[in-house]
Amino acid sequence: MTKTETARLMEAVRQAVLAAGERIKADWDAPRDVRLKGRIDLVTATDLAVEDGLKAALARVLPEAAFLAEETAAKTVLSGLTWIIDPVDGTTNFAHGFPFVCTSVALYDGLEPVVGCVNAPILGQCFTAGKGIGAFCNGQPIGVSGTDRPEAALVATGFPYAIRENLDEIMADLRVMLAETQGIRRPGSAALDLAYVAAGRFDAFYELALNPWDVAAGALLVAEAGGRVGSYRPDGPYRLGDFRILATNGALHDPMLALLAD
């Protein structure tokens, strides 16, 4: 795919995701229709409506592409062109009226990212990236920070729904990060955390037990903004579905890996 084709596809995705964001904004002040799909894992009518709308819109953009989507197509195996959708990343935030909420859409060709979009409609911030053409927020180029020391770094993390099963590891990592960095933030949306690393607002992000739709677009944003995305414990390239992800501005990657070592 040429850069011109990628740019056109990125714009088509942006328009589809912005339109989906109008449903989130419309529902923001309405009573929440919330149900549990796990012990603390929520789904709302908005999640389902946004996902359905995105699938219809994206099918018009690339009719041949499959879907890997959190609420309706979570078991799709990545092969060929696939749209990866998280309709409302930060559903718990949405249910409580906390505005760190976004929609994440990425197109992958097998395991290779092509375009990605993370739109935070309540915040008015739409992040886009295309393979080989850079990363943007509201149409303006963005780049990662230049922070190169952990003690000067603002680091984001998250806590998975399977928190009881992973509590010891989460707390051990958190203890190290609290002691060795300038600060830790846990806003509750991995896709937006990654977008903020890409924009230089966070210097690094780490988390475990995420799903492909949580990180597919954000990982491309970080890479295209000049950052680095990998796994930790063990250290290596990140592939969708890996249990742990570390995204940094690049300069902090090795120091962060050292902090997250066994």
Annotation-wise, does 52 bind a ligand? Answer: no
Annotation-wise, does 70 bind a ligand? Answer: yes
Say if strands 244-248 and 42-44 run parallel, antiparallel, or are unpaired.
unpaired
Query: What is the residue type of 70?
Result: E
Q: Which residue is associated with the tokens 């409302």?
A: 88
Would you say 199 and 142 are in contact if contact means Cβ atoms under 8 Å apart?
Answer: yes
183 DSSP β-pair partners = 154
Annotation-wise, does 168 bind a ligand? Answer: no
Would you tell me how many other CB atoms lie within 10 Å of the CB of residue 29?
7
Which residues are CB-contacts of 75 (< 8 A; sequence separation ≥ 6)?
Answer: none
- Among residues 208, 226, 111, the alpha carbon closest in space to that of 163 is found at 208
Annotation-wise, does 89 bind a ligand? Answer: yes
* Rounded Cα gap, residues 48 and 226, in angstroms: 34
Which residues define the annotated binding site for Mg(2+)? 70, 86, 89, 214
Which residues define the annotated binding site? 70, 86, 89, 214
